[in-house]
Amino acid sequence: MSTHALNVGIVQHSNSDDLAQNILITEQGIRDAAKQGAKLVILQELHRSLYFCQTENTDLFDLAETIPGPSTLYFGKLAQELNIVIVTSLFEKRATGLYHNTAVVIESDGSIAGKYRKMHIPDDPGFYEKFYFTPGDMGFTPIDTSVGKLGVLICWDQWFPEGARLMAMAGAELLIYPTAIGWDPRDDKDEQIRQRDAWIISQRAHAIANGIPVISVNRVGHEHDPSGQSDGITFWGNSFVAGPQGEMLLHASEDKEQVSVVKVDQAQSESVRRIWPYLRDRRIDHYQDLCKIYRD
């Protein structure tokens, strides 16, 4: 496990239907984070466009791109120029009729260090992702980079302890979640608070249970529902970085765009894991039923 401090940058912003403008906002955020000393910069889920999964529309497959492709080239040049590692989130076109929600890790020399295809795909009102994305087929494998082994997952994955555990078991030194999550504006304030707090608590628990930091980067702003069937989604921001005991190292705004950098002491994970040896005490001889859908 790495024993150095790492400056981690998060870029939280709103999106419009102007793809070129979105990219410029993202690039400026990356540059701002690098200027603040970030060596690893995390972007939010599907940062190129509006969150298009609010409705089912085959025309929106035009947003998908190949990997490698235009975005990996664009962010590769930026990573090389700034000498940083970037975690992007793209709508991957693997073949016509076959698409994934894919995170790509760009190394500081501009090359693709690796990618992760979202494994858990939601299908809920306003989040019709099963229409657009085939579930990932690459498993839970950390990506080796110059700043450490990154356990990259995506949004809905963050609610499942199994994914976090498998990444940690494979040597991940950080858990990273590009995210697009928000409220139905019709929910009352108490319900909104419960949802937001559950989201934060679940991910802080992954940090604690595995003894490694968690980085979660969400978008902000209201995006209307093109179908007109709902009041759209108000993305709740709250991007954060938690340490290996779940301690909050960085907590971003709920409703404002924000670029922030925080120092993550990776030696802390080494210390915490020695005191709290969860991996040592796992009873794998009695976990077989975890591979069942349900114990009837």
Q: One of 118, 129, 149, 173 is an active-site residue; which one?
A: 118
| Tens digit of each residue's pLDDT (9 = 90 or more) over 167-184 | 999 999 999 999 999 999
Q: One of 45, 92, 129, 223 is an active-site residue; which one?
A: 45
Q: Does residue 155 carry a catalytic annotation?
A: yes
Query: Which residues in 27-54 are b (16+ Cβ under 10 Å) and which e?
Result: eebbbbbbeeebbbbbbbbbbbbbbbbb
Q: Cα separation of 13 and 93, whole Å?
A: 24
Q: Does residue 118 carry a catalytic annotation?
A: yes
Q: Where are the domains of the chain?
A: 5-279
**Over pLDDT 90: what percentage of the chain?**
98
| Tens digit of each residue's pLDDT (9 = 90 or more) over 149-208 | 999 999 999 999 999 999 999 999 999 999 999 999 999 999 999 999 999 999 999 999
Q: Six-digit token pair at 84?
A: 């940083």
Q: Does residue 173 carry a catalytic annotation?
A: no
Helix or strand holding residue 15 (H, E): none
| Tens digit of each residue's pLDDT (9 = 90 or more) over 210-263 | 999 999 999 999 999 998 989 999 999 999 999 999 999 999 999 999 999 999
Residue 56 pLDDT > 90: yes
Fold of 5-279: Nitrilase/N-carbamoyl-D-aminoacid amidohydrolase (3.60.110)
Question: Confidence band (pLDDT; 50, 70, 90) for 42?
Answer: very high
| Tens digit of each residue's pLDDT (9 = 90 or more) over 96-152 | 999 999 999 999 999 999 999 999 999 999 999 999 999 999 999 999 999 999 999
Residue 1 pLDDT > 70: no
Residue 267 pLDDT > 60: yes
Pairing of strands 233-236, 214-217: unpaired
